[in-house]
Amino acid sequence: MNVNLIFDLPYHLDQPQHGNAVREAAERGSLIAQKIIQIWELMDSAEAAFNGNDQCTLITSLSKAIRLDFQFVQIPDKYKLLIKHMIDEALNNFPGDEYFLDLKIGRFVLSVPNRNVEALATANQALQLYPTSLRFLYWKAIASCLQEDDSGCIEALDAFLAVAPNDHNYVPSCHYRKALHYGSRVNDALFVQAFETAVESEQYQLSCFLPYQFPDKEFIRMCYNIAKRRFESDESSN
């Protein structure tokens, strides 16, 4: 699989722009929205602490936000120099920590040359410690897609989809990845099905994740149009 299609595009969870919509979703019971609101509050606390030169509160607020759901925590560059040595020390002292395992897998995936076999092994190790972690289920799916033999990626993607809420921001991404896998095997029927499911799943996303971004999405759509015409032509001729 083309490595350029592996990594998700970043989302900037702009509180002034999306705050009202996210709060409304939280009131309707969205767990993702509820987490985002708590993280926003903690990041506001961290900013106030940084401006007040209160390093203890800064670290505490960031830690709490990261524990809630580190995929939604965007640490400003101005904090990083201050906390870098703490992170490096913690990586060595707490090898089984959920957040630091996530960092470790990410480093394997992004390393040059790639260390994708180690990324998958670490994801499996993390899932032994945190078997219900959506983050590690997703990392396993990503690492499986990156293997030279990626035959296990559909099972890994489906494992994430089986437990993730409909409005989780990685649900459409997983369906697009399934489409990519089937497309690489010229399985038009499953490619078309996976792409259509991906597009349909976008309707459940919070407004802060819309319009939904996925690498080379328009190229995949173009391939879908070709595959659908070919599939329908084959169906009509049978």
Question: Going by C-beta distance under 8 Å and a sequence separation of 6 or more, which residues neighbour residue 190?
Answer: 178, 182
- The whole-chain average pLDDT of the chain stands at 88
Single-letter amino acid, residue 74: Q
Q: Cα-atom radius of gyration of the chain, to the nearest Å?
A: 20
Please tell me the total count of domains within the chain: 2
The rounded distance, in Å, linking the Cα atoms of 96 and 102 is 10
pLDDT band at 95 (very low <50, low <70, confident <90, very high): confident
Residue 71 in any domain: the answer is: yes
The rounded distance, in Å, linking the Cα atoms of 112 and 133 is 27
In this prediction, residue 98 carries a pLDDT of 84
Tokens at 35, concatenated: 């987490």
In this prediction, residue 4 carries a pLDDT of 43
Asked if residue 64 and residue 165 are part of one domain, the reply reads no
pLDDT band at 63 (very low <50, low <70, confident <90, very high): confident
In this prediction, residue 169 carries a pLDDT of 93
Residue 107 in any domain: the answer is: no
Query: For 206-234, what is the mean pLDDT?
Result: 91
Closest CA to 204 of 153, 164, 156, 160: 164
Could you say which DSSP state residue 112 is in?
Answer: S
Q: What percent of the chain has pLDDT over 70?
A: 92
Domain containing 57 equals 14-96
pLDDT by residue (tens digit) across 226-236? 999 998 887 77
Asked if residue 210 and residue 161 are part of one domain, the reply reads yes
Could you say which DSSP state residue 8 is in?
Answer: P
Asked if residue 226 and residue 150 are part of one domain, the reply reads yes
Q: What is the pTM of this model?
A: 0.80
Asked if residue 154 and residue 83 are part of one domain, the reply reads no
Query: For 88-104, what is the mean pLDDT?
Result: 78
Single-letter amino acid, residue 222: M
